[in-house]
Structure 1
Amino acid sequence: MKRFEFSLDRLLRVKKQLEHVAELEQRRAQEATERARATLLALRHQLDRIAEKITSSVGSVMAPQQWASASDMAERVDVSIRASEQEVAAAEQRLHTAAQERAQLATEVEALSTLRRQQVEKWQQEAQKSDQNQLDELIQQRWQAAQNAPSVALYQAEPAA
């Protein structure tokens, strides 16, 4: 019997490759999200330190330039925090999109793989059935040949003396 061929093998290979690429994209998106979150956390810590510095200066003499500088720094960090929060949101959205794409491709690969397995099983069953039919036919031919063959005498007559 001919060897098994799955008509969608090429598509399955392409989908597996795309799934691998999607896994890499998801990993990159996860790393970008983690970096954006780390940056946001660092900015928040920086703002906390500035606020602590300003709070500790309350009640003590502080030059107007120092107040202006601290206030300006706090405002710049606050603007950076807002931008960083937007970056985190965008990174999380890219991560979500990458995860959905990967899940979709994984589902497609699984469906194609299942279909391939089912077709392999069907092909194997058909091959076994074909082999069994050939064997049955061979046995039938030999049995018929044995039935049609002249009978062989079990005993031969003794030669006349």
Structure 2
Amino acid sequence: MESNALDVVSIEILIATFTNPWETSELEGEERVEFKPIPAKDLLVEILSTSELMIDLAYASAIFNDEDLAQNVVELSEKVDRLCYQLAMIIALAARDKEDAETMLGLWVLASNSDKISDAATDVAYTVLRGFGIPRIASEAFEEVEERIGRYHIKKG
């Protein structure tokens, strides 16, 4: 049977249920990502969503000079790195032939580009964490964008 798309059955063989995508164990002071069979699509959606969130948080951290938001961006960057590593393992195991490899390459390109976006958001966050702030001209440019950001405090109860 010839197929241009990745065979769904083969993916389901690799995938049981969506679980925590990173189970870490200490290895000489560094975290090591353990393989878990997770749907590549779910990993990709999580990578894309997290990268998008990081852009918004990095933007807000720069506008408000908020170190807590900036630190959240750095932590999310580590999450994206772990998810990309997990996706790379899934892709490596799923490709059985040239056609599968070509199909899976598209997933990897999307994930890799999202990782680059998350790295750029992290760079913005580091400008806040290192106290550099953003240039006045950039602040003025942010005022001209259509999307507005505000800070709201919500009381409990």
Q: TM-score over 0.5 for the alignment?
A: no
TM range (shorter): 0.3 to 0.5
More helix per residue: 1 or 2? Answer: 1
Larger RCO: Structure 1 or Structure 2 (Cα < 8 Å, ≥ 6 residues apart)?
1
More strand per residue: 1 or 2? Answer: 2
